[in-house]
Structure 1
Amino acid sequence: MAFATTMRSGLLARMDHFARGLLPLLTALMCVVLSAVPSRLPMFALVAPALTLIAIYYWSIYRPDLLRGFFILAIGLFQDLLIGSAPGVTSFILLLSYLVVVSQRRFFHGKSFGVVWWGFMLIAFGAALLTWISNMFVLNAWIDPKGAGISWVLTILLYPPFAALLSQAHKLVPVRELDA
């Protein structure tokens, strides 16, 4: 009887560990869904903040082992399909952002919030610029850069509250085996 209880609790513990390990992916998907929610504001799609970028940036610094490149490509494609943009543009930008942040995560890890936010401002600027250029290339038309600028400002202003929420989710994520 004790063996069955231990086996059941061991299985439940492994399932709980697995489910908690999915939090980075689930929070990024929640940001995709939030980004796709229709707004009654006219022309909001042109200035919408890059919420998914916030999640990718956060997890790229603190738990890149739980959010791999394949997932980021899938998340970006899912977002493109939901919002109706050219398939692959968001995937490319999110994956490029992920690779840049992961390459610099030692610099950001353990730094103050201000330094991490400053890094996000740079990444978000690059992402907004690439999105603007990619959209002009795909549409083969000039697009006013003001929309990209407003989107960038909204994105960096929303980083602190979203980072606070992601930080709470991070507390639920299991500790890395190497850290334990």
Structure 2
Amino acid sequence: MKLLLLCLGLTLVCAQEGNSDVVRSNFDIPKIAGEWYSILLASDNREKIEENGSMRVFVEYIDVLENSSLLFKFHTKVNGVCTELSLVSDSTGEDGVFTISYDGENKFRILQVNYSQHIIFYLENFSDSFQLLELYGRVLSCWCSSWGGETREGRKPGDRVDFPVVPWDLSPH
């Protein structure tokens, strides 16, 4: 339920009714390649995304490989030191659905993307049975300004941001 509520909050940030640039199916995977910023993480297992949590990773970029796999370059803290982490996810053949081995076996899907602004991923972990929702933005400062005038310099990783709840459908399209 907590994940659903957090997901609904993310929708407020991303949902732009009538915006034809938001894609929810028939994804053009090569267009997601490039630099991204981690904006928000949500999980039904909060420990996974809290300080020192295994899923508390911050994206730097996504690369699309020739076999349609995705290469993610993340940063995470290991023993208090910021460490680079590269992970490859494999396409399942389903539109926008991938598998990845990290902290167990996972399947994730793209829920929506505006290739020049944001992407939302929904991840299911089958080893520890938790769910994760990730919002990445192309430019961090544009998201912060929509949070009431905060600046990139004024926002620190891990700052809590609360959003009102609005309807959202998590089912695959």
TM normalised by structure 2 equals 0.28
Would you tell me which structure has more helix in proportion to its own residues?
Answer: 1
Would you tell me which structure has more strand in proportion to its own residues?
Answer: 2
Structure showing greater radius of gyration is 1
Structure scoring higher RCO (CA < 8 A, sep ≥ 6) equals 1
TM normalised by structure 1 equals 0.27
